[in-house]
Amino acid sequence: MKALLRTKAGQRVLSAALSLNAKRYKTKSRTAEAPTMADLHAVFSAMQQRFNSSAAGDLSAVFQYQITDGEAWNVSVDNGSCKVEQGEHSDPSVTLTMDGQTLEEVMSGETDGMQAFMTGRIQADGDIMLATRLTSIFPPS
């Protein structure tokens, strides 16, 4: 199964299946206010501070965050270093789309990222297996 998930076709099939499953469990929209630019900056700054270089190892990847009610951010991990930038990267390894509240909840550890993905609060495109490593690379506070 893991070998299949490492192929692009396997990742597309898994992504499609999870998207269909997520629609069944999609929660009603929350009425919280959209995060401010300062809120997102604080979340991504904290993320950079929590970077676990030993967990990242020799990984070279770009995590693109599309915040539906805020700005886009990207996080580049390359051979034990981490760089966080506002905006879209030209060639992300994986793109994660979510609202600001979901991002804050996942980064604080209040919500499990995989649970948020399975319930449709987070959508992933690209190498979704990389997204499974986020918790170890950026442990929740």
Q: What are the pLDDT digits (tens) for 29-74?
A: 444 555 666 688 899 999 999 999 999 999 999 999 999 999 999 9
Q: Element (H or E) spanning 100, and its range?
A: helix 100-108
pLDDT at 113 over 60: yes
Q: What is the pLDDT of residue 26?
A: 46
Q: Which among 121, 130, 39 has a CA at the least distance from the CA of 76?
A: 130
Q: Element (H or E) spanning 17, and its range?
A: helix 8-25
Q: What is the pLDDT of residue 109?
A: 87
Calculate mean pLDDT across residues 118-130. 94
The rounded distance, in Å, linking the Cα atoms of 134 and 125 is 15
Calculate mean pLDDT across residues 91-101. 96
Calculate mean pLDDT across residues 78-94. 96
Q: What is the pLDDT of residue 140?
A: 77
**Residue 26 per-residue DSSP state:** P
| Backbone dihedral angles phi then psi of residue 48, each to the nearest 5 degrees | -65, -35
pLDDT at 27 over 70: no
The rounded distance, in Å, linking the Cα atoms of 100 and 92 is 20
pTM above threshold 0.85? no
